[in-house]
Amino acid sequence: MQMTMQGLALIKRFEGFRGKAYRDPVGVWTVGYGHTSMAGPPSVSDGLEVSRAEADTILHRDVESFARDVAAFVRVTLAPAQFSALVSFAYNVGIGNFRSSSVLKAVNEGDFAAVPRRLQLWTKAGGHVLPGLVKRRAAEAELFVSAAADAEAAPGAPVEAIEGKPAYRSTTNLAAILSALAGIASTLLASARQAVDVLGGPLPGLLVMAVMIGAAAWILRERRRKAKEEGI
């Protein structure tokens, strides 16, 4: 499981960059992209200032730490988007709150459908619902469920068209043609004999045979055309 760029961007968007240390809604000294002393160095106090580049470095270090902790508490396999949403949530509420949250409980129970609803329980700071937290939980929920949406929208393996054999390579077709030729030859010989016997001479018999050969040629041509069309 790993953090995605979308998850990192979500954290940066909602934390916002502050180059000078400030107190968050519950009075905790914060700097950069939501960095506090509890996340590790640097220790944040009044007067601390960081550049945007320094804030980026601190954020990546903090996110890596939170990602390791989240992974340690999650007991099921998650898609990268799901994992990233949980890291963003933990980054905001703290790893201790994440560990005891109903969000993690739902995840470990495999009840992914309940996660967006459980996230919305964490929209208060200092006893008051904050619009910014409402929006953040909604964004985290959207990121979490996007994994399922992407799986449903993913195209399946392309189905290859199955082409039939050429007529001249089909053993079935060749067998049918040979069988037809044998039957036609037998019929032609019998008809020729009858013509000679009835009409009294070889010429009428030859005429009958010529007509039947023409008919046989037409039949074979139609068989080949149909075989080609149907891909036999």
Check residue 25 and report its DSSP letter: T
Cβ pair 199, 205 in contact under 8 A: yes
Catalytic one of 15, 54, 160, 229: 15
Cβ pair 115, 83 in contact under 8 A: no
d(CA 87, CA 94): 10
Beta bridge partners of 49: 20
Sign of CA dihedral 56, 57, 62, 63: positive
Dihedral, 97, 103, 105, 111 alpha carbons, nearest 10? -170
d(CA 190, CA 178): 18
**Residues whose CB is less than 8 angstroms from the CB of residue 85 and which lie 6 or more positions away in sequence, other chains included:** 7, 10, 140, 141, 143, 144
109 is catalytic: no
d(CA 229, CA 232): 8
* Length of the chain counted residue by residue: 232
- The residues assigned a catalytic role are 15
